[in-house]
Amino acid sequence: MLWDVNNPRAYNNRMGRYKTQAEWEFIQRHLPDRPLRILDIGGSSGRFALPLAELGHHVTVIDIAENALAILREKGHPNIAVHCGDVLQFEPDFKFDAALAIESAVYINLPWLLAKVNSLLAGGAPFLFTHLNRASWRYFAQGLLNRGATRYPIYTPSELRVMIEAANFRVEAVMGFVWMPFRFNSNSPLVSVFAAAERVLGLRRWIHQSPWLFYAARKR
């Protein structure tokens, strides 16, 4: 599956548009208001690289999925550079002003990723990333339904904070989201109802039980 913003089996559905909007708002709140050199880890076909480039940022997208990167290359934006490979092996000749790992950090050994990103960032630069929450109600419900564990490690908010700080980052903000019992590509009209409840009830601040967490960390 191509994780493209225009693919109805990926992000072009109610659930995908909800996540993209929530994530984009968080990104905009925590990036400096000036042109930046941004590393987009697992950026696929440019869901966030393209709008960031349109704002004047210079974005390097790194991903292991060549087919997704081919879609981004075809768009030919002058502010976007594309690199196919493993970020843990990435060795650019300059430091980035910010880094993103949106819905991709969960697939990478997190302590290794944090250490690598720290080495790629300039001092004081932000790292914005999402991760699943092992303490959430959804993880507990999956256990009750005998759906088994995920194929990759996930952590509690306390464990995530310890790892972030151990990698010489400071946590500046955390947002909870995806408070809804739907598949990642659901087109249910109830998505908007749950999204409205998430905002009205302030669930994004209820970090301990939120299924997804979005962190804004800053290199010390």
How confident is the model over 70-126, as pLDDT tens digits?
999 999 999 999 999 999 999 999 999 999 999 999 999 999 999 999 999 999 999
Tell me the pLDDT band of 145, cut-offs 50, 70 and 90.
Answer: low
Q: Is the pLDDT of residue 19 over 90?
A: yes
Q: Is the pLDDT of residue 9 over 80?
A: yes
**In residues, how long is the chain?**
220
Structure tokens at 5: 């913003």
Residue 191, CA distances (Å) to 33, 105, 123 in order:
31, 24, 39
Burial class from Cβ neighbours inside 10 Å (0-12, 13-18, 19+) for residue 84 reads middle
E strands in 23-116:
37-41, 58-63, 80-84, 98-101
Query: Which is it for the CA torsion 67, 16, 125, 172, positive or negative?
Result: negative
Q: Is the pLDDT of residue 175 over 70?
A: yes
Q: Is the pLDDT of residue 1 over 60?
A: no
- Name the nearest CA neighbour of 212 among 182, 171, 167, 170: 182
What does DSSP say about strands 98-101 and 126-132: parallel, antiparallel, or unpaired? parallel
Q: Give the integer Cα–Cα distance in Å for 69 and 54.
A: 18
Tell me the pLDDT band of 152, cut-offs 50, 70 and 90.
Answer: confident
- Name the nearest CA neighbour of 82 among 54, 44, 51, 118: 44
Phi-psi region of 178 (alpha: psi -120 to 50; beta: other; left: phi over 0): left
- What strands lie across the sheet with 126-132, from one edge to the other? 80-84, 58-63, 37-41, 98-101, 126-132, 212-219, 169-177
User: Phi then psi for 120, rounded to 5 degrees?
Assistant: -95, -10
CA dihedral 72, 211, 157, 150 (to 10 degrees): -80
Structure tokens at 179: 């408070």
Q: Give the integer Cα–Cα distance in Å for 107 and 154.
A: 10
Residue 181, CA distances (Å) to 23, 51, 53, 204 in order:
18, 29, 33, 15
pTM confidence score? 0.94
